[in-house]
């Protein structure tokens, strides 16, 4: 529900009558569920679906000793009404107050500890020394110097770290809800630090972080072209990629809302694409024949800046 008042702890929409109580200072523990950015409606739906599945499974296990335990389908209905309460209880069971920041030198191997939070795996901590047997080795130094660290993140924190050298950049496929932020390593320190919210890492420290996060790891040859008036130009918080001219593409959809706001490539066999209607938005779909490709994208603008047109060749 866009614009609704949200609980500081669970981040679900609440009414004025709702009251949430906790054992810790609400502002400290709420950092673990604070959105870094507002997720899309689909991501909010996925989060709620994961929590509902987790809770219904836990209810089934908890009451397994009863002779007349409910089937999973009925526990799923019960879980639907208790998701905010389950989210808050789950948060308090995993949260650790006053977490220490992670530190690791790039001259030695780096080990990582993961944590499962609301059905998604996040990085909890990293170090040059594994704390236990469940830590995983994510980096082993070589003769080539590491220049950049790529952090995969979503609205709750960091899920993965990749390290690149001048001649070896990561090649990763796009994943829904995941954004990659490039960080330049300090040549003098050759180390990284991470800040935790008490459950998972939120951001990297002692590095030069890019302002923009990308749906795939950023290329070094990226060039920005702005299709908006000059007085609107600023570096975006997130940039999505467009899989253009691939053989599996059967068409493109453009959303026009004062300017170009979405450019989507449809693949053969793609699941249903959601069009959200609005009085002030226009959708344009362009089917393509096999072998047909896009070579140029043009923007035409009137002198008054009020009228603009988009052309695709």
pLDDT tens track for 3-16? 567 787 788 876 65
Share above pLDDT 90 across residues of the chain, in percent, rounded to a whole number: 47
| Statement: residue 104 has pLDDT above 80 | yes
pTM of this structure: 0.84
pLDDT digit string, tens, across residues 282-302: 888 889 999 899 998 887 777
The number of residues making up the chain comes to 313
**9-23, 29-43, 57-71, 203-217: segment of lowest average pLDDT:** 9-23
Rounded to the nearest 10 degrees, the angle between the axes of helix 72-94 and helix 41-62 is: 100
The H or E element containing residue 191 is strand 191-196
The pLDDT value given to residue 68: 80
State the Cα–Cα distance between residues 44 and 182, nearest whole angstrom.
25
CA distances from 177 to 18, 39, 186, 263 (A): 29, 8, 29, 17
The pLDDT value given to residue 69: 86
Is residue 4, in this structure, part of any structural domain at all?
no
| Statement: residue 264 has pLDDT above 70 | yes
Same domain, 125 and 199: yes
> Do 253 and 266 meet the contact criterion of CB atoms below 8 Å apart?
yes
For residue 285, what are the β-bridge partners?
253
Residues of the domain holding 58: 26-94
The pLDDT value given to residue 111: 97
State the Cα–Cα distance between residues 117 and 233, nearest whole angstrom.
37
Is residue 19, in this structure, part of any structural domain at all?
no
Q: What is the mean pLDDT of the chain?
A: 86
Same domain, 77 and 123: no
Candidates 181, 131, 178; CA nearest to 151 is 181
The pLDDT value given to residue 18: 54
Last residue of a domain, one of 62, 94, 126: 94
The pLDDT value given to residue 65: 83
Tokens of residue 79, six digits? 């879980």
pLDDT digit string, tens, across residues 15-49: 655 555 544 456 578 889 999 999 988 899 999 99
Burial class of residue 148, CB neighbours in 10 A (0-12, 13-18, 19+): buried
User: Of the spans 81-85, 154-158, 297-301, which averages the highest pLDDT?
Assistant: 154-158
The total domain count for the chain is 3
Is residue 233, in this structure, part of any structural domain at all?
no
Cβ contacts of 302-307, under 8 Å, gap ≥ 24: 305/229
Question: Helix (H, G, I), strand (E, B), or coil: what is residue 304?
Answer: coil
Same domain, 87 and 122: no
The pLDDT value given to residue 56: 96
> Do 147 and 183 meet the contact criterion of CB atoms below 8 Å apart?
no
- Residue 130, domain CATH: 2.100.10
The pLDDT value given to residue 24: 45
């Amino acid at each position: 529900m866009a614009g609704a008042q949200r609980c500081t702890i669970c981040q679900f929409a609440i009414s004025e009558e709702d009251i949430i109580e906790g054992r810790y200072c609400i502002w400290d523990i709420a950092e673990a569920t604070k959105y870094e950015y507002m997720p899309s409606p689909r991501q909010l739906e996925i989060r709620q679906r994961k929590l509902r599945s987790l809770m219904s499974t836990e209810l089934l296990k908890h009451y397994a000793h009863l002779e007349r335990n409910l089937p999973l389908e009925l526990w799923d209905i019960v879980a639907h009404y208790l998701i905010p309460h389950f989210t808050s209880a789950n948060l308090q069971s995993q949260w650790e107050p006053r977490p220490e920041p992670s530190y690791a030198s790039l001259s030695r191997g780096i080990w990582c500890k993961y944590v499962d939070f609301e059905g998604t795996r996040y990085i909890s901590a990293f170090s040059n020394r594994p704390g236990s047997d469940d830590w995983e080795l994510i980096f082993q130094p070589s003769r080539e110097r590491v220049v950049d660290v790529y952090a995969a993140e979503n609205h709750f924190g960091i899920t993965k770290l990749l390290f690149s050298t001048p001649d070896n950049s990561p090649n990763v496929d796009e994943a829904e809800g995941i954004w990659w932020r490039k960080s330049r390593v300090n040549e003098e320190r050759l180390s990284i630090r991470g800040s935790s919210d008490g459950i998972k890492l939120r951001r990297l420290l002692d590095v030069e972080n890019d302002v923009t996060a990308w749906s795939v790891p950023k290329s070094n040859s990226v060039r920005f072209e702005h299709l908006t008036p000059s007085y609107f130009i600023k570096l975006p918080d997130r940039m999505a990629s467009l899989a253009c001219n691939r053989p599996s593409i059967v068409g493109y959809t453009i959303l026009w809302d004062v300017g170009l706001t979405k450019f989507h490539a449809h693949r053969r066999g793609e699941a249903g694409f959601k069009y959200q209607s609005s009085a002030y938005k226009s959708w344009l779909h362009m089917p393509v024949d096999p072998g047909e490709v896009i070579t140029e994208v043009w923007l035409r603008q009137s002198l008054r800046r009020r009228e603009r047109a988009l052309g695709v060749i």
